[in-house]
Amino acid sequence: MQGEENLRKSKYIKLFALCISVSLTFTSFADLNIIEYFNELRPQTHINKLYTNERKDELKKNVVNYNDIEDMIHLYNPDILNNWNSWENNKSSQDVYDEYQDAADVLYDSAGSQDSDMQEGMMMAQGRAMQIQADKNADDSYTNFLSNYLTEMQLVLATKVLDINYQKSSYELLSASESVKEAERKIEKAENALKYGAGTEVELLTAKKAVADAKSSLIVAESSQKTYKRKLLLNCGKMSSEDIYISPIDVSNDLDISNINLNNDYQMALAHNIQYEIYRRKIENARTDEVKNEFKILYESAPEKIYNDLENKYRNILDAIDTNQNRQIAYNLANDNLKKAQNEYEHGNISAKELKTAEYNVLIAGNNIQTAKYDLKIAVENYKYAVMGYSDC
């Protein structure tokens, strides 16, 4: 009986040893000039960035500046700090794999001592699952660095977007507040109309509902602004309860949109995409067929995803430009209507409340232009970060 158990154990071990010996080939990155780019991403240089004491003191002040976000995150974000503190640059892929493989071997050894074939099969399956999981996690030091670096740069972009949205929320909050005032003026108008027989109860109820809706929108706008600020401060490593001043951002774009060449930018985005390089390295490090094939599928589908992502981000830029133009047209129209209303008011043809409505429309149209500028800023930042290789694929 013991001899049969040893035979079964030996058979399984030889089978799994054969599975992990299969190798996989893939296209070289040299054709995309990838090697030169990733050689410039040096772990120690990035992790141990040198900051003067004056610069550190500047970043510790109760001020968040858009251009300082990347440095604040690198120095003070707790998750990023934890990632780099736990990064083990002296541990090789083989070291990591061996640790997991030892756990798998324990399961394989236990399988040979089970009382039934079913129990033995279950233990072998668990061992195999552990081995595959080991293979997925067996990254070399540089791959781990790339993963952490990608996480950091994606957080930088997300935090910049938070800052832009926080700035935009001021205009949204102002519009929401003015909408409440305008809705309340319409209630008074509906009440007077009903009083003199020129309106109905339904019109008055509709006006009251409009006030309730406007106040609800104001609450949402206030909550959104607080949420943006809290997340922004936490990402920058600051306490959300602190009295932090957030500097206004420049909404002008540092990207010449008219000269964007999607095909050229795609080649850059592909050559610099960190997740794409991680897939390549995982294929290179993998020992098992399952893991090699899993990452090969991701690797081979990545170029199309990168292109589609970049194309969508470019379309977002074009949509944002179109929105800016349309809102400028709406603002010009509101201004024209205000001039007409002022003339009508001077001649006694309209009431003061009607003039207020025309002024309200100009204010809202102006705020809409400002929020559209912030949305274009977000679209441009997303596109730039995709070209720099920081998007998922």
Q: Where are the domains of the chain?
A: 61-87+157-249, 250-393
Report the pLDDT averaged over residues 336-343.
97
Of the listed ranges 35-49, 125-139, 157-171, 312-326, the least confidently predicted one is 125-139
Q: How confident is the model at residue 165 (pLDDT cuts 50, 70, 90)?
A: very high
Q: Which residues contact 228 (CB under 8 A, 6 or more apart)?
A: 162, 165, 166, 169
pLDDT of residue 26: 32
H or E segment and range at residue 63: strand 63-64
pLDDT of residue 193: 87
Tokens representing 214?
């406007």
pLDDT of residue 106: 66
- Whether the predicted pLDDT of 390 surpasses 60: yes
Predicted confidence (pLDDT) per residue in 169-220, tens digit: 999 999 999 999 999 999 988 898 888 888 899 999 999 999 999 999 999 9
- Whether the predicted pLDDT of 6 surpasses 60: no
Tell me yes or no: is domain 250-393 CATH 1.20.1600.10: yes
- Tell me if 278 sits within 8 A of 147, measured CB to CB: yes
Average pLDDT of every residue of the chain: 84
Report the pLDDT averaged over residues 52-76.
95
Predicted confidence (pLDDT) per residue in 222-272, tens digit: 999 999 999 999 999 998 777 899 999 999 888 888 899 999 999 999 999
Residue 197 has φ and ψ, to the nearest 5°, of 75, 15
Helices (H) and strands (E) in the chain, counts: 14, 2
Q: How confident is the model at residue 107 (pLDDT cuts 50, 70, 90)?
A: low
- What is the percent of the chain where pLDDT is above 70? 78
User: What does 312-345 look like in DSSP terms, one character per residue?
Assistant: HHHHHHHHHHHHHHHHHHHHHHHHHHHHHHHHHH
CA distances from 240 to 55, 63, 88, 162 (A): 22, 12, 32, 14
- Tell me if 386 sits within 8 A of 313, measured CB to CB: yes
Tokens representing 273?
């995409």
Rounded to an integer, what distance in angstroms lies between the CA atom of residue 113 and that of residue 238?
A: 56
